[in-house]
Amino acid sequence: MNKQLMPALDVQERMHSFEEVNLGYTKKQAIMEAKRCLNCKHHPCILGCPVGIDIPGFIKKVSEGLFEEAYHIIARSSCLPAVCGRVCPQETQCEKVCVLSKTKNGISIGHLERFVADYHIKHGKDVDLSIHKYEYKVAIVGSGPAGLSCAHDLIKAGFQVDIYEALHLPGGVLSYGIPEFRLPKSIVFHEINQLIDKGVNIITNAIIGKTLTLKDLKSMGYQAIFIGTGAGLPKFMGIPGEMLNGVYSANEFLTRVNLMKAYDKDYTTPILKAKKVAVIGGGNVALDAARSALRLGAKKVYIIYRRTRNELPSRLEEIHHAEEEGIEFIYLSALKEIIGDNHGFVHHIKCNKMTLGNPDSSGRPRPVENLNDSYHLDVDEVIIAIGTTPNPLVLQSEDDLNATIEGCLMVHHDTLETSIPSVYAGGDVVTGSATVILAMEAGKKAAHSIISQLKK
């Protein structure tokens, strides 16, 4: 039996809409896909999952049509299955090591996870809402996947958990970064609300480092603190023309689109609706910005990337979808200058051609610039998506917190404790920009360190 394909919105329809692209498996598809699983004794897929979901266990329940039971198996390890089923790069994790992947027919674990989580959202009753008698009190800074997953494991252990979030809505990148057509916000808030129902308290508009410091939190009686403030500070290129009107960082562009709903005519959030857009970079962020610009009405959207398609770091599914939607990928190219018109707006860009050299420290071939081979491209908007660094506010307000030159917090490898005792950190603020599931893994690991430290 072959893989069940994920049904998707028609290309012409979705290019002009922020509706979710993937439609999700039907019950019949989910059962057929689940029945292909071999329930391997050594289950390599579980080892490929950073949060250790019992993958064969939940898939078996799906094959028997017991979808709620499948959900409860997943929920033991993950508080964000509907999110992860949509955005995890499964092809480099659980699905990569599935024994059936050797024949390119691996189980679509992510699609099944999404099916089960969506089934639960529609039909499920939620799990224990027991009132805990809290013995310990922990503060979490940041409500992205790292903070939420830490909160999940702490509340399960009977701790009081208060999350302090700088923005007016929780979720981190899930709310402000990843667009609606990939990750509907109703899904994100449903999973966050389940945590709130279990007793997690989320305090929004609270900027730690400004509104309150870590010392304030300690004096408020928190016995441990987890910092999961992410890596939301955009990098720029330092090239001429970056200050022109019409140049955005991908973070600003996507925050306006997602968190501030610039795509929705009922909102007044200003955003440039350009005709020709160049997005610089090749990761998920670049693809999200490019596909959002298309949906805002751009006639032509280019992705300018220094390497080739083989090295694109974004999820495979997003590359396919972007190509189907007509996004033009210009490989082996580097932006050198943005040239403006007489009114200070972007008019065109100058790029240099590249070739691939020997592998660099990332293991990918190093892009080498051909200084004498350049070209111009007419565009009226440029979105820079070349990476981000950790949000610096907590670090700037604490002398005793150690960090790398790039501003990543330094933690003990086994416990994730920072240089300040009882203060832990994890997710993008430690690793730099990574993935949802790695941030969740870090949140879990820190929760377990906190539990064993406080219960000692």
Task: List residues binding ligand SF4 (CB under 6 A).
Answer: 37-40, 43-45, 55-56, 59, 98-100, 107, 109
First CA to last CA distance, the chain: 52
138 or 178: whose CB is closer to ligand FAD?
178
45 binds, among ligand SF4, ligand FAD, none (CB under 5 to 8 A by kind): ligand SF4
Identify the bridge partners of residue 22 per DSSP, sorted by sequence position. Answer: 8
43 binds, among ligand SF4, ligand FAD, none (CB under 5 to 8 A by kind): ligand SF4
Q: Which of 179, 329, 316, 342 is nearest to 250 (CA)?
A: 179
> Could you say which of 165, 380, 381, 441 contacts ligand FAD (CB under 6 A)?
165
Non-local (6+) Cβ contacts of 29 within 8 A are 4, 115
Segment 172 to 191, residues that bind ligand FAD, using CB under 6 A: 172-173, 177-178
Q: Which two tokens stand for residue 25?
A: 């498996």
- In order of 325, 327, 343, the CA distances from 298 in angstroms are 12, 10, 21
Binding of ligand FAD by 88 (CB under 6 A) = yes
59 or 383: whose CB is closer to ligand FAD?
383
**Shortest distance, position 282 Cβ to ligand FAD, whole Å:** 13
Binding of ligand FAD by 436 (CB under 6 A) = yes
Binding of ligand FAD by 78 (CB under 6 A) = no
Amino acid in position 402: N
44 binds, among ligand FAD, ligand SF4, none (CB under 5 to 8 A by kind): ligand SF4
40 or 127: whose CB is closer to ligand SF4?
40
52 or 158: whose CB is closer to ligand SF4?
52
Binding of ligand FAD by 154 (CB under 6 A) = no
244 or 395: whose CB is closer to ligand FAD?
395
Binding of ligand FAD by 50 (CB under 6 A) = no
Binding of ligand FAD by 207 (CB under 6 A) = yes
**Shortest distance, position 1 Cβ to ligand SF4, whole Å:** 12
Answer for the pair 230, 389: CB distance below 8 angstroms, yes or no: no
416 in helix, strand or coil? coil
Q: How far apart are CA 383 and CA 290, in angstroms?
A: 8
Binding of ligand FAD by 166 (CB under 6 A) = yes
Binding of ligand FAD by 140 (CB under 6 A) = no
Q: How far apart are CA 382 and CA 379, in angstroms?
A: 7
56 or 427: whose CB is closer to ligand FAD?
427
Binding of ligand FAD by 260 (CB under 6 A) = no
100 or 260: whose CB is closer to ligand SF4?
100
Strand arrangement, sheet containing 224-227: 201-203, 160-164, 137-141, 224-227, 423-425
82 binds, among ligand SF4, ligand FAD, none (CB under 5 to 8 A by kind): none
SS3 content of the chain, % helix, strand, coil (to 5): 35, 20, 45
Q: How far apart are CA 303 and CA 328, in angstroms?
A: 6
Answer for the pair 449, 417: CB distance below 8 angstroms, yes or no: yes
56 or 426: whose CB is closer to ligand FAD?
426
Binding of ligand FAD by 141 (CB under 6 A) = yes
Query: Strands (DSSP E) along 41-144, which ranges?
Result: 137-141
Measured at the alpha carbon of residue 376, what is the angle toward residues 374 and 381, in degrees to the nearest 5?
130
Left (φ > 0), alpha (ψ -120 to 50) or beta: where does 384 sit? beta
Query: Which stretch in 120-128, 227-235, 291-299, 417-425 sits in contact with ligand FAD by CB under 6 A?
Result: 227-235
> Could you say which of 139, 394, 395, 411 contacts ligand FAD (CB under 6 A)?
394
**Shortest distance, position 101 Cβ to ligand SF4, whole Å:** 7
Q: Which two tokens stand for residue 120?
A: 């639960």
101 or 453: whose CB is closer to ligand SF4?
101
106 or 230: whose CB is closer to ligand FAD?
230
Q: Which two tokens stand for residue 354?
A: 């590249």
> Could you say which of 393, 415, 419, 432 contacts ligand FAD (CB under 6 A)?
393
Binding of ligand FAD by 284 (CB under 6 A) = yes
Query: Strands (DSSP E) along 314-432, which ranges?
Result: 328-330, 333-340, 346-359, 365-378, 381-384, 388-389, 423-425
Q: Which two tokens stand for residue 406?
A: 């790039």
Q: Which of 129, 205, 122, 106 is nearest to 163 (CA)?
A: 205
For the chain, give me the number of helices (H) and strands (E)?
18, 15
List contacts with ligand FAD (CB under 6 A).
87-89, 141-147, 164-167, 172-173, 177-178, 207-209, 228-230, 232, 254, 284-285, 288, 315, 391, 393-394, 427-429, 433-437, 439
